[in-house]
Every structure is written in C-alpha cells, then in structure tokens.
Chain A
Amino acid sequence: ETGVTQSPTHLIKTRGQQVTLRCSSQSGHNTVSWYQQALGQGPQFIFQYYREEENGRGNFPPRFSGLQFPNYSSELNVNALELDDSALYLCASSYPGRVSGANVLTFGAGSRLTVL
C-alpha cells in the first residue's frame, strides 16, 4: 500500500508568479485535502476534493485553486504569489467509508514553497 506522495519537495518562486503542487493519494483513498503550514504554526485547511469536486474550503482567497483527477490525485494551484504564501503545503488523503465520522487523514511529506 503506497502512501501519499507530493511533488516537488522544495521550490522557490518570486512574487507574482504561479505555482502548481501535485499530490498522489494513498491507494484506496478517494478524498484529498490540502493544508498550509507556515513556519512555527499548525496546518490550516485550504480545501478538500471529493469525487473531483471541491467539498469545502477554508479562509483562503480564490487565487488558491485545485483539481482532483479521476485517479483521485490532486493539484493545488496558487496564482499571483505573495511573500506570505511561503509555507509547507501538505496534502492528505482519506476514505470516509473506512471509519465512520472521524476524518482519518494520511499526510504526505509536503512541498516547501519559498516566495522571494
């Protein structure tokens, strides 16, 4: 059973640029959530995708967008990058049918984005 894999692991961008981060969910998982973890902070929920549609969104502007593909993998896109977007971006997959009610997430190792 493969875990959650994310790419790239590290990247550097400049203000105003756009970035795409990728995530492959754990085998058997059909739901993907994205979290932003700034340095010294806990992860903050960006959005979740279920059946290729956005199924909930945190307090993030529209320049944060995503996709989920038929194989359940996902992308996070951020347009018009700002310095405050520098963070570790974590992808997590889950399968709601496994455990009723609890949101048991399997996290990837993250993509560390630095915006200069």
Chain B
Amino acid sequence: GEDVEQSLFLSVREGDSSVINCTYTDSSSTYLYWYKQEPGAGLQLLTYIFSNMDMKQDQRLTVLLNKKDKHLSLRIADTQTGDSAIYFCAESSPVNYGGSQGNLIFGKGTKLSVKP
C-alpha cells in the first residue's frame, strides 16, 4: 500500500543547515512535495519535484530525490528561528481529471525546532 515515512523531530541551531528526510513506497508516484505547517495554520507548499528529476533548488531550499531508494530529502540552508514548524512530505500520482484526482498521501510530519 501507499505509505510515507518521516522522522518525527529535528533540532538545529540557528544558522546551521537542516535536513529532513522522507521515504515513500508508491512506485507509481510521480510528484513529491514538501509542505510547511506553522502552529494554528494550514499547510503551505514549499516546493515539489517531478520524479524524473534528482535535484531541485529554490533559494535556501534544496530537494534531493533518490528514486531507486524511494528517498526524498529537504535541506534548508542557514536555518532561521522562523523556519520552526512541522514539515510534511507528500506524494501523488499526476492529476488527470476524469481519472486520477492526484490526491496527496502525507507523512506524519517532522517537527523542526530551531534554537537561537
């Protein structure tokens, strides 16, 4: 079945890099996403990657995908206290209305704590 696994907690010091890891099981997934959830808020899309890519960089964020091992990671450079939040990894099949609705399968989230 489909499953997404993440470690539950990560603690880093301000200015360090954070690396959040995720493994997934659905070999048909073609899109993988990283979402951020701050307390009392909904989910904010940070970035996503197509499965034919192995890396995507967006400012302080770097996503690495190892499709063979079904492993996804999110690296946050120069982590700030404002990055403290829960980070969710998610997978989906492509949207194909009338067929696949592309619903996201989420992990349980990794709580990132940034110490000053």
Is B a genuine binding partner of A? yes
* Inter-subunit contact A101/B104 (CB<8 Å): no
* Inter-subunit contact A104/B48 (CB<8 Å): yes
The listed residue (A4, A41, A105) touching B104 by CB distance below 8 A is A105
Report the bound CA distance from A96 to B96 in whole Å: 8
Q: Please give the residue numbers on chain A whose beta carbons come within 8 Å of chain B beta carbons, in ascending order.
A: 4, 31, 33, 35, 40-45, 48, 50, 55-56, 58, 90, 92, 94, 96, 101-110
* Inter-subunit contact A43/B103 (CB<8 Å): no
The listed residue (A40, A48, A107) touching B103 by CB distance below 8 A is A48
* Inter-subunit contact B109/A42 (CB<8 Å): yes
Known: A58-B103, A102-B48, A107-B42. A41 touches B30 (CB 8 A): no
* Inter-subunit contact A107/B106 (CB<8 Å): no
In the assembled complex, the CB of B97 is this many whole angstroms from the nearest CB of chain A, namely: 6
* Inter-subunit contact B97/A90 (CB<8 Å): no
Report the bound CA distance from A33 to B106 in whole Å: 14
Which 8 pairs between the two chains have the least Cβ-Cβ distance? A42-B106, A56-B101, A107-B42, A103-B102, A101-B94, A45-B103, A107-B43, A109-B42
